[in-house]
Each structure stands twice: as structure tokens, then as C-alpha cells.
């Protein structure tokens, strides 16, 4: 039995990764830049500091990365203030873990205000013992820092703790930290290499519940 469950947020708990992709396209266009699939892939699952680096890597050092990011984040914030769509199986998984007495954390690359807004508006905040934002750690995913901080706050060992992720960078981070890492893909599909790092790849969170019920996690 796992000792804790640590959740990524965007694309894993909520269908917000697609919002970021939509509003990246809008904000980049407003500043005269084109949105590419490669940029979308590279932008998934990382914190603001790394996001600014990725913007400059793709569009040049002279691009107004801070302004583009702030515009995109503002559009996302406005959207989630009105609607935060849950991913299939989220309620069932939270209920199962809660009934089993498994401590839970959110460890997301998103800023804290967005994490709190999504959890509060969906009524899911009550399930989590702690929240860690990517802004609180020195290194972004694929480094394991945000997950290690979550495990430390929960008082659990990584080797017995479940990390749930949708992104490639997140799976790499979970594996690097020695966690039981499960991928539930959203916009990015797993390669053979990523499958080799993950304990399992599931179609949705309902499948994660099935693995827990059968004792395979």
C-alpha cells in the first residue's frame, strides 16, 4: 500500500493544460510570434523561471518573455475564475484515497494563486494536506525538487509514495526522485523511454483507482 499520493495539477487533475496551450497561442500572436507544437511540448509541466527560458530558446533572447508570459497567465487566470473542468475520475480517486486514509499533496509547477483558485473553485482543497508550488523550489521539473518537498512535508519516503503526472517532465521528475510514478497522459503522449520510467501509464484517473483497488499500486 502506498504511504502518500502526490498530484500534479494542470492536465492531471484539471483540463487546464489545454487552456495554457490555447492562451499561449493568443498571447504569442499578440506580440507577433507564431505558436508551434514544439513550443507547446517544451512548455508543459515547468515553472515560470523555466518557462521564460523556453520562450527565449524558441523565439530569441530579445523577445519580451516576461510580457508574453504575464499576458498568457492573465488569460488563464481569467478563464479559471469562471470555469475549472475536472479530469475524468478525479472525484473517484480523491474519495478512494480519502477513505483509505492516504495523505495527499499537490505539487505543481503553477503559481500558488492558480493552484489555490483551482482547488477552491472545484471543492477539492479539503483533500490535500499540503500544496507545493514550483515557485517555491530552486529547480523546475524534470528535477524532482517539488515532489521531494511535498514528501518531506507529508513525512513520507519517496519510494513508497505515489506521484501522478501527465507530462514528460513530470514523469522524469518523479522517477528522478525515486517515487512510484504513474503517468496519465494529456497533451503529451509517452515515448518508450518515458514508459520505462513510469510504474504505469493509465488512460485516465479511473484506471488509477482500479490499480489501487487491485493492489497493483
Say which residues have a Cβ less than 8 Å from residue 48's Cβ, sequence separation at least 6: 69, 111, 134, 135
Cell 509517452 found at:
190
Contact 53, 140 (CB under 8 A): no
Is residue 93 a contact partner of residue 209, using CB atoms and an 8 Å limit?
Answer: yes
Q: Is 8 an annotated catalytic residue?
A: yes
185 vs 203: CA distance, rounded Å: 7
Of residues 8, 42, 145, 166, which has the active-site annotation? 8
Q: Which residue is associated with the grid cell 533572447?
A: 61
For residue 10, indicate whether it is catalytic. yes
Beta bridge partners of 104: 5
DSSP state of 216: -
List residues with catalytic annotation: 8, 10
Amino acid at each position: 500500500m502506498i504511504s502518500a499520493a502526490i498530484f500534479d495539477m494542470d492536465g492531471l487533475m484539471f483540463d487546464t493544460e489545454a487552456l495554457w496551450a490555447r492562451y499561449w497561442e493568443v498571447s504569442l500572436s499578440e506580440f507577433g510570434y507564431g505558436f508551434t507544437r514544439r513550443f507547446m511540448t517544451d512548455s508543459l509541466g515547468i515553472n515560470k523561471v523555466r518557462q521564460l527560458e523556453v520562450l527565449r530558446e524558441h523565439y530569441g533572447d530579445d523577445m519580451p518573455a516576461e510580457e508574453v508570459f504575464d499576458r498568457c497567465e492573465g488569460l488563464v487566470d481569467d478563464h479559471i475564475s469562471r470555469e475549472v473542468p475536472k479530469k475524468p475520475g478525479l472525484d473517484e480517486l480523491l474519495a478512494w484515497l480519502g477513505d483509505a486514509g492516504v495523505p495527499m499533496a499537490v505539487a505543481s509547477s503553477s503559481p500558488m494563486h492558480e493552484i489555490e483558485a483551482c482547488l477552491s473553485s472545484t471543492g477539492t482543497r479539503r483533500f490535500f494536506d499540503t500544496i507545493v508550488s514550483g515557485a517555491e523550489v530552486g529547480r523546475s521539473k524534470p528535477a524532482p525538487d517539488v515532489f521531494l518537498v511535498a514528501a518531506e512535508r507529508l513525512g513520507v519516503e519517496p519510494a513508497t509514495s505515489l506521484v501522478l503526472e501527465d507530462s514528460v517532465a513530470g514523469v522524469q521528475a518523479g522517477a528522478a526522485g525515486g517515487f512510484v510514478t504513474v503517468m496519465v497522459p494529456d497533451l503529451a503522449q509517452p515515448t518508450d523511454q518515458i514508459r520505462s520510467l513510469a510504474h504505469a501509464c493509465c488512460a485516465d484517473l479511473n484506471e488509477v483507482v482500479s490499480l489501487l483497488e487491485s493492489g497493483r499500486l
